[in-house]
Structure 1
C-alpha cells in the first residue's frame, strides 16, 4: 500500500473528525484527495502533528476522536509524543503512523524504523496498538480505534514513494489554521 492509498481510506473515515496532518507529502496528498476544513495541515512543522493532536484531544474530551497523521521521519523528530500521550491518556486520540521507512522529501534516505519499532514503543508507553499493511486492514483498525477509550496508535506499513502530480498547498498556514479553528468552534 502506498501513502496515497492509506490517506484515501483515512479521508473516507474522518469526514466529521478533526484531523491533524504532518507536513510535506502527507499534507499535499491528503489535500488532493479531500481538502476539508476539518484538516489542519502543519506545513512546516515536522514532528509536531502528534503534539498538536494530543493537545486538541486533551482540550476537548467531548470530541469523539482526534486523528493525527504522522510519517515515520516526522515521528522520529519528536518521539516524546508517545510517552506523553500514553501518560496523559486522552480518551479520544488516534495517531496514525504512515511508515514507509524513508524521509520521502530527501531522496528517500532511510529512517530508523527498519530497526526501531515505533509501534512497540507506543505500546510500552500505554497506547493501544494496531498494525495495518493493506487498505482493508487500515479500515478495520481505524474503525476499531473509534471504540477504544484511550490513545490508539495505528502503525501503517507502506511502500516507498510519493504520489506524482500532486500540487503544492499554496494556502497560508494562518488561513488553514483559522479554517480549522472555525470548523472546531462550529462543532
Structure 2
C-alpha cells in the first residue's frame, strides 16, 4: 500500500462535517477518502473492509468515542494511524488521546492545507498536535483523578443520587461518598455535580 494515495477513513456523527472534510481532503492528489462512518463502533470494521491507512476521528460519537476508538485501532490494527479532529479543544482530551495511541490531535477549524499536511505527517509515523493545546496540556499537568473517581463522576454528571451511583458502579454508598469527596477536592469544587462537570470540561472524563 505504499503506492497510490493515502487511504483515509472519516468518523464523525455529523454528516455535513464528514462531507465537507471529504470534499476538502479529496482535492489533494495524494489523499483519498475511502470510507465515512457516523459511529465510533463502526470504525474498526470499516478500516479492515476499506484498507484505510489513516483515520480522522471526532471525539463525541455514538457507539464509542473517538479516544476509545484510537485505543482500539492502536491495539488491533497497529499499522493504521489515527488523527483526532474535534471541536473539543480540551487539554485533558489531548493527553488521553495520546495515551490511547492517537498519532495526532487537531481542532476542526484547522485550515484545509494544514489538515492535509497533518494527515501526511501522521501517515509518515510522526506526531501532530495543535500547538496551543500542547502548551495548555503541559501547563495543566496530568489528570489527577483515579479510574474509580472517574467512574463515579460520570454517573454524577446528571445529578444521580448516591445510591443509584453505587448500584451502577457496584460499590457501597460509603465508598462512593469517599470517591466523590476526593474528586471534589481535586477539582476544587463543592458538589459532586459541579465536580463532574468541571472534570468533563477539562477533558478528564
> Fold match, TM over 0.5?
no
Structure whose CA Rg is larger: 2
Higher relative contact order (CA 8 A, sep 6+): 1
* TM-score category of the 2 structures, normalised to the smaller one: 0.3 to 0.5
Normalised by the length of structure 2, the TM-score is: 0.41
Q: Answer 1 or 2: which has greater helix percent.
A: 2
Normalised by the length of structure 1, the TM-score is: 0.44
